[in-house]
Amino acid sequence: MAHVIRKLITCRFSDYDEIFVGFAPQLIIPFFEGKFRRYRNDGGKVTIDFFISVYDTLVNDRKKIKKGSVPASVAAWLDKRTISLADNVVVDTKAHGEYFTENFGLSRDKMQVLYLEADKSVYYPHTVKRAEEDADKRIILYFASMLPLQGVETVLEAAKLMKDDKNIIFKIIGPVKNKVIQDNIRYIDWLPQDRLSDAIADANLCLAGHFNGEIGKACRTIPGKAYIYRAMHKPVILGDNPANRELFDESMDGIGFCRMSDAKSLKAAIEDMLAKQAV
């Protein structure tokens, strides 16, 4: 970050027709407001990647800052100020863009939706040799960094409802804090990307989410793992929300939905998807 700041201090913006500020422009643009404003007044264009709101992430999603507090107000100001100083604002979903419009003054004329993609050099359709002890099992895979909006609790609760099914294995990859211990759940704390790709290739069904229906951001964003699963041609279960509906629906092969924060609905979706594979 210090390197970026030093470069911004010495950089002549006038040498460029357009400037793109990537991840977390809130950490850059408001603190160099005068320089960016002069650049725009001279005809330059500023485009920003606004996939993440400081306010939404810290107040609503991760709950690190209390709503209505002074730090929350500062976070909202950073979001609003950054948007006001940009000519083009790139967002990851229409639903997310609408949230920014309603809460931070993003003009729809500035908004451009750019959906994510998987790294297909790592995540591509391939086969791996399954362990002999799992040969007759159906593997259901879920990986995540276990942020609150991802809703791992719903996944674990669905697994508990299916604890007597000896034909399936839930393989959960990531730093789960409150693990449910039962015979058909396996936990892996972390995998490098190449081994994660192999684990996905070995799965019969992949859970994408988001599954937490109590956090608004979970309904406005498409989980990155959904793009990975689809790039690998794996059957996927998604949380039923406006963002996921922008790209996916039940008419698409290998796509299923469940109600968010509803373990019984997720269980039913899992059983339905596995039944379709058996036909």
**Distance, CA of 268 to CA of 277 (rounded, Å):** 14
pLDDT at 127 over 90: yes
CATH topology assigned to domain 132-277 = Rossmann fold (3.40.50)
pLDDT tens profile 195-232: 999 999 999 999 999 999 999 999 999 999 999 999 99
Going from N- to C-terminal start, the domains of the chain cover: 1-113, 132-277
Q: What is the pLDDT of residue 273?
A: 97
pTM higher than 0.75: yes
Q: What is the pLDDT of residue 126?
A: 98
**Distance, CA of 214 to CA of 237 (rounded, Å):** 19
pLDDT tens profile 65-123: 999 999 999 999 999 999 999 999 999 999 999 999 999 999 999 999 999 999 999 99
| Residue 243: both structure tokens together | 């963002």
> Edge-to-edge strands of the sheet including 111-113?
18-21, 45-49, 88-91, 111-113
pLDDT tens profile 22-34: 999 999 999 999 9
Mean pLDDT of the chain: 96
**Distance, CA of 145 to CA of 48 (rounded, Å):** 25
- Kindly calculate the radius of gyration of the chain based on its CA atoms and give it in whole angstroms: 21
For 131, counting Cβ atoms within 10 Å of its Cβ (0-12 exposed, 13-18 middle, 19+ buried), the class is exposed
